Amino acid sequence: MTDVGIDAIEVWVSNLKLDLPKTFAPENGEDPEKYTKGLGLFASSFPDSYEDIVTMAANASYRLMERNGLEPADIGRIDVATETAFDKSKPVSTYVAGCLEQVYGKSLTNANKGERKFACISGTQSLNDAYNWIASGRNRGRGALVIATDTALYERGDAGEATQGAGAVAMFIDEDPDIVTLSKEQGIGSADETDFLKPNQQFPSVDGHRSMQVYLARMREALEDYKAAAGDIHPDDIVYGPFHTPFPGMVKKAAVLAYRNVIRDTEVADELEAEVGRQPEPEDFTDQEDYLAALREYTDSLRDTERYQRWYKERIRPTLTISREVGNWYTGSVHVARTSALLDGYDRDRDLVGSQMIVGSYGSGAQAEIHAETIQPNWKRAIGRLDIQEQLDSRYDLSFAEYELIHDNHNLDLETDVEPLTTPDDEFVFAGWGPMGERKYQFVA
Ligand code: CAA
């Protein structure tokens, strides 16, 4: 079978920024270190009043096409993953296609369009759909445009307000890709959970602390399922491990559990035994509570070892660099983590061709998926085209009062008219409503 994977990536960081330790924490009477040290977050990105999930998706897609010399005729499929869709019938991908047709003056009539929903994991599900479409040979030589776009807002005063964010990631999926190929093997961990949901409402109902436990449980199931399909994973064989990142502190918790899992019965566990003891096994205990206490103690000691710290610093921490500055992008979050990892490799001029990443996606409700990705010979050329740092640096820094206005402006239950804080430049903007309640968009050169 031909290799299938990600040929090009583009990220659209929305135009506003909320500084969490400097602007948000003091207004909430909180210690800024809750953000910088506890959650691992420094800022959230926010859309200006003329931005929404369509403009962010269209802007990421347009730049992706321009920078990679793609034409509408190269695209046989457009899938948008989002958990902030505003229409229960007409998919966001049709709006995005309309935007692209405006600027290219060419039609996307023969591109199959859809929208995927399963909380934050739907971006990866769309990636897998594109993989399957191409691998089946139904693509007729064309590639798939997969876009993850979200405005991840929580109700004012909700604990989740600390982890907001907004942005889009566009990816072109193709045969013989430039960046990574996807493994055929994948692992799934899924259960009917009610940790985070939006039953016909814009802002989520969240059981925050339980959602973290559900994330870890589903990830463990997905990892076991992946190992059953692909064989054991050695931690030193993974060059980076991008995970779904609702906030970097979540990944910090997940990473040590993943490490503990994959070193079980390996020479790594043997070599660490003098320092941290033997990994507790359930059959060694008659009482479940005693087993869990011993496991916690072992995990804490493992986390403190120099070997683990080095592994985390080299292979996990680089995946969090962008996320720390933008917050949670829901469906885009794991794809931001992958991009962040590859940018680290690019900035350090690393030779990564043939190296493997293990990618862990997650969506509340709840499901985790794990697959491997192999870095391809042209990855540096593709990653070198990104300008994420420039985008981050050019965001408008919101005051708290402006943040309150912008939050209200994106609250679908309120009718507020907010003057934009930035001037659109070479991008799609929301241009008002049509007669059937549809949204209108135009490109501002
Ligand atoms: N200095 C250093 N650390 C501090 C601190 C300080 N002054 N103050 C607090 N902290 C630490 C806390 O100890 C805690 O770390 P640990 O978990 O390691 O103990 C961390 O900062 C956060 O503090 P709290 O737990 O007190 O924060 P909180 O109660 O306000 O809520 C949250 C945190 C539950 C994540 C909340 O922001 C939330 O509900 N977020 C939305 C849900 C979410 O993101 N869940 C993640 C899993 S579900 C998922 O991944 C899907 C998705 O995208 C939504």
Q: What is the mean pLDDT of residues 45-56?
A: 98
Residue 124 clears pLDDT 90, i.e. is over it: yes
Q: Where are the alpha helices (DSSP H) in 305-376?
A: 306-315, 323-326, 333-347
DSSP class of 316: T
Q: Between vectors from CA 81 to CA 154 and to CA 169, what angle results, nearest 5°? A: 85
CA distance 130 to 158: 36
Percent of the chain past pLDDT 70, that is, above it, reads 100
Q: Can you name the residues that pair with 53 across neighbouring β-strands?
A: none
Closest C-alpha to 428, from 104, 79, 62: 62
> What are the tokens at 46?
């926010």
- Tell me the CA distances in angstroms from 103 to 62, 107, 207, one per residue in order: 9, 10, 43
Which SS3 state, helix, strand or coil, does residue 81 take? strand
Are 403 and 391 contacting, i.e. CB atoms less than 8 angstroms apart?
no
> How far, in Å, are 117, 126, 200 from residue 91 at the CA level?
11, 14, 16
The finding on whether 246 has its CB within 6 A of some atom of ligand 1 is yes
Give the residue carrying structure tokens 């885009």. 332
Residues 6+ positions from 389 with CB-CB distance below 8 Å? none
Q: How far is the CA of 246 from the centre of ligand 1 (A)?
A: 10
- pLDDT tens digit sequence for 278-316: 999 999 999 999 999 999 999 999 999 999 999 999 999
pLDDT at residue 443 above 70?
Answer: yes
Is residue 217 within a helix (H) or strand (E), and if so which, with residue range?
A: helix 208-230
> Residue 3: pLDDT above 80?
yes
CB 155 within 8 A of CB 58: no
| Main-chain dihedrals φ then ψ at residue 373, nearest 5 degrees | -130, 140
CA 377 to chain centre: 24
Q: How far is CA 169 from CA 110, 112, 208, 321, in A?
A: 23, 19, 25, 16
Pocket test for ligand 1, best of 33, 42, 155, 163 (most atoms within 8 A of CB): 163
Q: Check: pTM over 0.75? Answer yes or no.
A: yes
Distances (CA, A) of 100 to 9, 13, 60, 105, 231: 17, 19, 11, 8, 43
Q: If you average pLDDT over residues 12-24, what whole number do you get?
A: 98
Closest Cα to atom 32 of ligand 1: 208
**Could you tell me if the CB of 196 is within 6 A of ligand 1?**
yes
In this predicted structure, the answer to whether residue 1 has a pLDDT above a threshold of 70 is: no
Structure token digits, residue 19: 């500084």
- Taking the C-alpha atoms of residue 144 and residue 7, their distance in angstroms, rounded to an integer, is 10
Tell me the per-residue pLDDT of 336-392, one tens digit each, with 9 for 90 and over.
999 999 999 999 999 999 999 999 999 999 999 999 999 999 999 999 999 999 999
Is the pLDDT at 329 greater than 70? The verdict is yes
Average confidence (pLDDT) over 168-194? 98
**For ligand 1, is residue 259 a contact (CB within 6 Å)?**
no
CA distances from 303 to 191, 276, 287 (A): 28, 10, 25
> Tell me: the pLDDT tens digits for 379-437?
999 999 999 999 999 999 999 999 999 999 999 999 898 999 999 999 999 999 999 99
Q: Where are the domains of the chain?
A: 4-444
Confidence of residue 2 (pLDDT cuts 50, 70, 90): confident
Is the Cβ atom of 348 under 6 angstroms away from ligand 1? no
Which residue pairs, CB below 8 angstroms and at least 24 apart, start in 101-105?
Answer: 101/72, 102/441, 102/442, 102/443, 103/62, 103/443, 104/65, 104/71, 104/72
- Number of neighbours of residue 192 by Cβ within 10 angstroms: 6
Q: Closest residue (by CA) to atom 30 of ligand 1?
A: 159
The answer to whether 97 and 428 have CB atoms below 8 angstroms apart is: no
Helices (H), 231-287: 248-263, 267-276
Residue partners of 405: CB distance under 8 A and separation at least 6 = 416, 418
Identify whether 234 is a catalytic site residue.
Answer: no
* Test site for ligand 1: of 37, 39, 154, 245, most ligand atoms within 8 A of the Cβ: 39
Distance CA 168, CA 12 (A): 5
Ligand 1 closest atom vs CA 253: 18
Decide: 139 and 77 in contact? Cβ < 8 Å: yes
**Catalytic (active site) residue 99:** no
Fold adopted by 4-444: Peroxisomal Thiolase; Chain A, domain 1 (3.40.47)
What is the mean predicted confidence (pLDDT) over 310-330?
A: 98
